[in-house]
Amino acid sequence: MTIHNKKLAIISIMFIISLLIACNKRGNHNNNTVQNSNNITTQTPKALEENDGFEVSDLKIGRGRFGRKSNNIVDELYDEALENNPTLQALEKQIAMLQKQKTDSLSHYRYYTQTNNNYWSNTSWYLSKIQDSTLELSTKKIIDQHRKKYFEDVSELEKIEEAIQKEQQHLKDLQIIMKLSVTQQMIKAYQKNEKPKIEQMQKILNEYQELNEKAEKYIDELKN
């Protein structure tokens, strides 16, 4: 795939993300109550809400808000986005269906090529068993001509199969970009909505400083 085509593909996937976000915003305009709980771009994701009794140590072992163990926040966020976004659901469904179609469509091709490859491997063994060198060479010539014609016949199939593999891998790359792009919007909302208030932390700092002064003063009094 050329650099130009890769750039076009990246632009395409970003356009899809823009459509997903636009769909959410339109839904929010039409139905504030429902969309406020589903909006993946402005609301704090449910997957990131702190449950009661949450401990910082829970993050170290990857314990999620529902009590289950999970060490992949990106997947949790993306699953939540899938639940709430029909456009994204449809796109992922198409990707899954294409993968199944690809597997089904290529199964006959792969069986066909494997069968022929096994045949060519077997012919080599049989040729080696011919004791008469003249007969061996003449027979080998016939087999080689047949083999050459076969590979010429399937060359176009091989090119298409190789192209399919490249496109499949490229789609996997785009899926990753899509997942990161969608969840980036969600983590941005979390970062904005849930940023700790500096006043609360400053209050704790002030109390520590005040108590430190009292402790130091008390120690000094003991020295006198």
Please choose, from the candidates 4, 44, 38, the residue with its C-alpha nearest in 3D space to the C-alpha of residue 23. 38
Q: What's the pLDDT tens digit per position in 58-111?
A: 555 555 444 445 679 999 999 999 999 999 999 999 999 999 999 998 999 999
Statement: residue 181 has pLDDT above 70: yes
Helices 133-193, 86-128: crossing angle, 10 deg rounding: 160
Which residues are CB-neighbours of 9 under 8 A, at least 6 positions away? 1, 170, 174
Statement: residue 133 has pLDDT above 60: yes
**pLDDT of 59:** 55
**pLDDT of 71:** 75
For residue 215 the two structure tokens come to 């402790």
Average pLDDT over residues 14-39: 47
Average pLDDT, the chain: 82
Statement: residue 184 has pLDDT above 50: yes
CA–CA distance from 135 to each of 128, 131, 139 (Å)? 11, 8, 6
pLDDT confidence band for 3 (50 / 70 / 90): low
d(CA 56, CA 63): 10
Average pLDDT over residues 4-17: 57
- Phi, psi values for residue 153, rounded to 5°: -65, -35
Which residues are CB-neighbours of 163 under 8 A, at least 6 positions away? none
What's the distance, Cα to Cα, between the start and end of the chain in Å? 82
- Cβ atoms within 10 A of the Cβ of 35, count? 19
